[in-house]
Structure 1
């Protein structure tokens, strides 16, 4: 069954070994408000602390253009273009979903999406589109993914970025990639309504 995230940060609970998120300016303020501290990642980037060392030398501009940081493929979620998907990604991380994902088998996304975004879940989010995290095309996607209702336009942008990340990095099934959130000041406090 899919895990649904809350409609705002009020429902975010930090528990024991829960993955803490790390960022600098203005994203750091979001984390500070949640009582989370740690080593800083590159400017205006949100990543879990266990992945900071892998991207701390790369700028958001490089990650956006190259879809990689040195030898690590990176899937950037730009909150300026996809604010609701950025919020969902952030909340999914806080709920324990990983930022380091692996490309699934080609064509597995449709089946995984159907497991996460069932007819009942889709109906709940109408007129918004059902977003799932981890991504349906990843090995980690599927029935246990977190879901949220987001504008369909953001879904289309994200689909293009996922495909570009796979293509640019020549990712094969099983290859790892790291999801990062950029432009953290644009992450809304709650999801957009219909």
Structure 2
């Protein structure tokens, strides 16, 4: 008798049985075991709700690997390395700040940053804190109160963000005028509260 190949259905059945018999609270406890059986779980990333209809048309590989989806270029931000910046981005989305950004001309970002984060405009609470803004100052949408949300984050994260954006623009081939969106990876690491003076990032290397 010929052997049949696994269809990958077993991991799904395992999850279903656990939820039915023991309740959803135990679901997280079996995720690792499921992956050992050859299954997979939803990748840990989030996008702005406003662009979900477009990103749902793409695979995780397209979003995270190709840096492109449905005509939009992708910038990745790791919540493991920048949990408070990721929090500010996610809150900005929830407040209706633009989900789709456009790369602005080089040299315009400092003026726009001063508009929303400059002296007399933003007052930080902690000595190692810094003003973070979304939409980014390097985007056309940056520097305008109607499209920007600010929040204090660790200075280390702010420095990390600058290098990350330059690197991501290069990787996704984002040029002046190009439309792009942000995808937050390691989304389970997004800070759940405002910065309180303690850098809680699990990975502070700021390299990828």
Do structure 1's residue 147 and structure 2's residue 150 form an aligned pair? yes
Change (3 A) 1:157 1:99: same
For each residue in 1:172-192, what CA deviation from the matched residue of structure 2 results, as whole angstroms up to 9, or x when unmatched? Answer: 221101112222211122122
Deviation at 1:95, TM superposition (A): 1.0
Correspondence 1:44-193 to 2 at 5 A:
44-56=44-56, 57-59=58-60, 63-64=63-64, 66-69=66-69, 71-127=71-127, 128-144=129-145, 145-193=148-196
For residue 139 of structure 1, give the secondary structure of its aligned residue in structure 2. Answer: coil
CA contact (8 A) 1:122 1:129 kept: no
CA contact (8 A) 2:124 2:130 kept: no
Moved over 3 A (4+): 61-71
For residue 123 of structure 2, give the secondary structure of its aligned residue in structure 1. Answer: helix
The TM-score normalised by the length of structure 2 is: 0.66
Deviation at 1:47, TM superposition (A): 1.6
CA contact (8 A) 1:102 1:139 kept: yes
Deviation at 1:69, TM superposition (A): 3.8
CA contact (8 A) 1:73 1:165 kept: no
Gaps of 5+ in 2: 1-26, 29-41, 198-208
Deviation at 1:83, TM superposition (A): 0.3
For residue 120 of structure 1, give the secondary structure of its aligned residue in structure 2. Answer: coil
The TM-score normalised by the length of structure 1 is: 0.70
Aligned pairs, how many? Answer: 154
RMSD: 2.3
Bigger CA radius of gyration: 2
CA distance in 2, matches of 1:170, 1:182: 19
Gaps of 5+ in 1: 1-24, 27-41
CA distance in 2, matches of 1:131, 1:112: 12
Deviation at 1:65, TM superposition (A): 5.1
CA distance in 2, matches of 1:125, 1:107: 29
CA distance in 2, matches of 1:150, 1:89: 12
